Structure 1
Amino acid sequence: MGEFMRQYWMPAALSSEVVPDGDPLRLMIMCEKLIAFRDSSGRVGIMDHRCPHRCASLFIGRNEQNGIRCVYHGWKFDVDGKCVDMPSVPARQDFKEKVHAKAYKTQERNGLIWVYMGANQDSPPPMPDIEATMIADPEIWCLQRDCNWLQALEGDIDTSHVGFLHVGSLTLDDLDEDHPMRPTVLNRSPEYEVQQSDWGVMYGAFRPNDDGQMSWRVAHYMFPFWTQTPNNRFATRAIARAWVPIDDEHSMLFDITGGTDAGNPAYTSTLKDGTPLYDTIKYVPNTTDWYGRWRSADSIHNDWAIDREEQRTGVQFTGIPNITMQDQAVTESMGPITDHSFENLAPTDQMIARTRRRVLLAARALRDKGTPAPGVANPDLFYRARAGSFLHDPAVSLTDAYQAQLETAVRWGAKEPEPAE
């Protein structure tokens, strides 16, 4: 799976996390210990943290004059990993042109630094056309989760939990008539339609609304570790969530949204009287260790801030006041890697089952047959995916309802959506 993921560009850090000639940033991605730095000209380098001379960490190096200089012997490397100075070696014995740090290709787009960790650094593939990442000024936030990337991701493609974990204590009287969560409160047991797609797997959870229309919550798994969740209003907002593996038991979420409306309703929702449905995430200050970025103050160590009295009285179904921490709690409570043999999957878990199989077969096809990873050579495939909730004619299929919504939705980026397959 690691080799499979390395076929793709992946988010590494926020652009704001590194500044010209500023402190290097420790990154752990795909079990590799890396550093990121921005040089004097504004270019970003991401490379193995070990100096290729004697393996001292370049994290303690000097970021200066368009390169990172090791403090051990002064050897200096540019963002491409080329050794550009070897001051501790006599000039007649200098061999800097033969020395390279292990460096990866990087790109920046709309507030995100991306890295390509594939074997062919000379010919990286094009960047994926994921719509939310193509918005000029998106809302981006990060969060570290202490579990395997797929385990973390699966919460995003399971919509039947929303009626309990997130809104289990709400009634219809608590919400405005046009609140996007209202159909979920009306009917907490949706049915599913799941389809394989070129970009991964797509589902539509459907339930009759009380106005005679069908309520759809449409979402996607996109290769290799992306989701689009259905809490947005489909017509006016784009979302993408990357679950980047730090190592086998830790992952980093990059949540990217943007639209013509004011904020993602999953985080900004209020009751009818204006009371916020959820608290905001509380972070601990970032530190410089390998697992020190974007950590919540609430974790297993304080039971994710659960308030048993609020749970008993129905203030929150879980007693956990933040919606993301509700997801964090149940996902991390499974342990760092879930024992799937203990599960009993239900019909409402078919999206999870299909996604597991889809990604496993794609990884095996690359390993065993050399079949290209889906979407790597065709980045526009990802632009066809759009998630969100909407109401539609109950007589219309998911495919037709989805296409009709795409045709009237506000879109970002230069691509034109093609019919879903």
Structure 2
Amino acid sequence: MITAEENIDLCSVGRGTLMGEFFRQFWVPVCLSSELVADGDPVRLMILGEKLVGFRDTEGRVGIMDHRCPHRCASLFFGRNEQGGIRCAYHGWKFDVTGKCLDQPNLEDKTKYPAGTPAYAYKTCESGGLVFAYFGERQDNPPPLPEINAIMGEGDERNIALTHRDCNYMQALEGDIDTSHLGFLHVGGVDGERLDLSDPEAFTVTEKAPKINVTETNFGTMYSAQRNAYEGTEHQRYACYLFPFWVTYPGGGGLEESKTVNAWVPIDDESTMIFNIDLSRAAGGGKKALKYKDGTPVEGLARPLEYLPTTTDWKGRWRPVKDATNDYGIDREWQRSGGSYTGIVGIPLQDQAIQESMGHVVDRTLEHLAASDRMVVLTRRVMLDAALAWRDEKMLPEFVDRPEYAREARGGDMIVPKGTDWLEGYEEVMARIKGYVAPKEPAE
């Protein structure tokens, strides 16, 4: 159990907070590349509690900056995106994507202060269909992007889904590394007689109380959920947490073909934007279909989210139609009949309902943790320790400047001979993957 003070530290993301300052030292995805159009409308973005404006200039360059004009603090959201920069609608000051002041038409003498005052803009880059911003102290020399295979992998086709969730990022992230809930929340209504045992994920249905193995790594933490499989074999299901809020989850089949990741990006303390990137299914990979008792494929319900129309509010993007106001569309008869464990359609919506039901920020002092929560416990501690090391010693995890460590991190399933060490089995598979870098012991 963590203390009330630690819970506040873990969940608070604004400037000056423990975790907020730590997160800012990493590249943060802020939107889809497609959401910013050259010379198009500026877009309101909120990340880590900061109100930002994003735009793409005439040449296709992306700007992410404080939404307030440095002159009189009017919002640049109302500005004109024109000819290589954004012009404030209040007095006409114009800025390029780096924040450089290009024009101040209301100043008679452009040699005197505040002539040339820049807007506050952040470093940006694009990869895998996403726009990233760097909010940290190394604006002149930001670290490299982590080499997460779902983002950096070969091929342009990716399934990318963004979703707004009305809860703190940490309870959402913890859902991604809590593997034992799968056998209940998501596949509790699966018909055991319809199982295809050639699909390793079938064993998450047949054995709902796995042994949880965990370890700290150079990129964060990882786990396996260990279950009995065929005679003389075991099923291992892996996932990894990567600093500061990435999870390579087991959603794309075996380890070798899996290229899946979620980023749990804090909008503010009480809301999260999920960036789900899946290169596995885009390439034709992925798991076979488990079926509910009424014959409905679980896989077919994996991404059924419908979204409300986008608005220009700070939190007006990627909001699901089904939410707390309509009880996530729960079908009690479907739940009572056993056709569905929850009565809620689809894995994302099931997760959303549970995580938002805890409140905007869950009080972790009320928890009663068990052996099934080992990955959650370890990851909380690793995150807090890393953030404290940054605050107290200005020391960041080695992973910040060793982006290749992300190649070590995958989620997926495999069947191994009974008694195989879970890490040795993982290493054997990963060693066959092109570009893989063998893990090292965490730095002292």
If the length of structure 2 is used for normalisation, what is the TM-score? 0.90
Kindly indicate whether residue 69 of structure 2 is the aligned counterpart of residue 69 of structure 1.
Answer: no
Paired with 1:210 and 1:258, the residues of 2 have a C-alpha distance of 29
Which runs of no fewer than 5 residues in structure 2 stay unpaired?
1-18
- Tell me the amino acid that sits aligned with residue 266 of structure 2: P
- Aligned to 1:87, what secondary structure does the other structure show? coil
Paired with 1:149 and 1:92, the residues of 2 have a C-alpha distance of 45
Kindly indicate whether residue 379 of structure 2 is the aligned counterpart of residue 355 of structure 1.
Answer: yes
Distance 1:173 1:68, change over 3 A: same
Paired with 1:52 and 1:171, the residues of 2 have a C-alpha distance of 61
Partner of 1:172: 192
- Tell me the amino acid that sits aligned with residue 34 of structure 2: S
Kindly indicate whether residue 362 of structure 2 is the aligned counterpart of residue 342 of structure 1.
Answer: no
Partner of 1:192: 212
Give the CA deviation at 1:363. 0.5
Paired with 1:351 and 1:93, the residues of 2 have a C-alpha distance of 59
Paired with 2:150 and 2:231, the residues of 1 have a C-alpha distance of 31
Partner of 1:125: 143
Match of 1:321 among 345, 354, 378: 345
Paired with 2:275 and 2:32, the residues of 1 have a C-alpha distance of 9
Could you list the per-position Cα deviations for residues 118-167 of structure 1 after superposition, in whole angstroms to 9, with x for gaps in the alignment? 12311111111111111232221111111111111000000100000001
* Residues 1-400 of structure 1: pairs in structure 2 closer than 5 A: 1-91=19-109, 98-135=116-153, 136-137=155-156, 138-233=158-253, 234-259=255-280, 262=284, 264-265=286-287, 275-277=296-298, 278-279=300-301, 280-400=304-424
- Aligned to 2:161, what secondary structure does the other structure show? strand
Paired with 2:333 and 2:195, the residues of 1 have a C-alpha distance of 23
Say whether the 8 Å CA contact 1:74–1:87 is kept in structure 2.
Answer: yes
- How many residues were matched structurally? 416
- Aligned to 1:143, what secondary structure does the other structure show? strand
Paired with 2:130 and 2:82, the residues of 1 have a C-alpha distance of 23
Say whether the 8 Å CA contact 1:144–1:294 is kept in structure 2.
Answer: yes
Paired with 1:346 and 1:272, the residues of 2 have a C-alpha distance of 30
Query: Does 175-184 or 144-153 show the bigger shift?
Result: 175-184
Give the CA deviation at 1:404. 1.2
- Aligned to 2:352, what secondary structure does the other structure show? helix
Give the CA deviation at 1:275. 3.7
Give the CA deviation at 1:240. 1.2
Give the CA deviation at 1:181. 2.5
Say whether the 8 Å CA contact 1:7–1:373 is kept in structure 2.
Answer: no
Distance 1:374 1:270, change over 3 A: farther
Paired with 2:351 and 2:285, the residues of 1 have a C-alpha distance of 19
- Aligned to 1:282, what secondary structure does the other structure show? coil
Say whether the 8 Å CA contact 1:77–1:83 is kept in structure 2.
Answer: yes
Could you list the per-position Cα deviations for residues 4-48 of structure 1 after superposition, in whole angstroms to 9, with x for gaps in the alignment? 001100111100000100011100001000000000000000000
Give the CA deviation at 1:374. 4.0
Which runs of no fewer than 5 residues in structure 1 stay unpaired?
none
Paired with 1:193 and 1:251, the residues of 2 have a C-alpha distance of 28
Say whether the 8 Å CA contact 1:2–1:30 is kept in structure 2.
Answer: yes
* Cα RMSD after superposing both structures: 1.9
If the length of structure 1 is used for normalisation, what is the TM-score? 0.94
Query: Does 390-399 or 58-67 show the bigger shift?
Result: 390-399
- Tell me the amino acid that sits aligned with residue 395 of structure 1: G
- Tell me the amino acid that sits aligned with residue 144 of structure 1: H
Paired with 1:405 and 1:169, the residues of 2 have a C-alpha distance of 32
- Tell me the amino acid that sits aligned with residue 202 of structure 1: M
Paired with 2:136 and 2:365, the residues of 1 have a C-alpha distance of 33
- Aligned to 2:136, what secondary structure does the other structure show? coil
- Tell me the amino acid that sits aligned with residue 262 of structure 1: G
Partner of 2:10: none
Aligned-pair identity in percent equals 48
Give the CA deviation at 1:272. 10
- Aligned to 2:418, what secondary structure does the other structure show? coil
- Aligned to 1:251, what secondary structure does the other structure show? strand
- Aligned to 1:386, what secondary structure does the other structure show? coil
Give the CA deviation at 1:92. 5.1
- Tell me the amino acid that sits aligned with residue 22 of structure 1: G
Say whether the 8 Å CA contact 2:86–2:96 is kept in structure 1.
Answer: yes
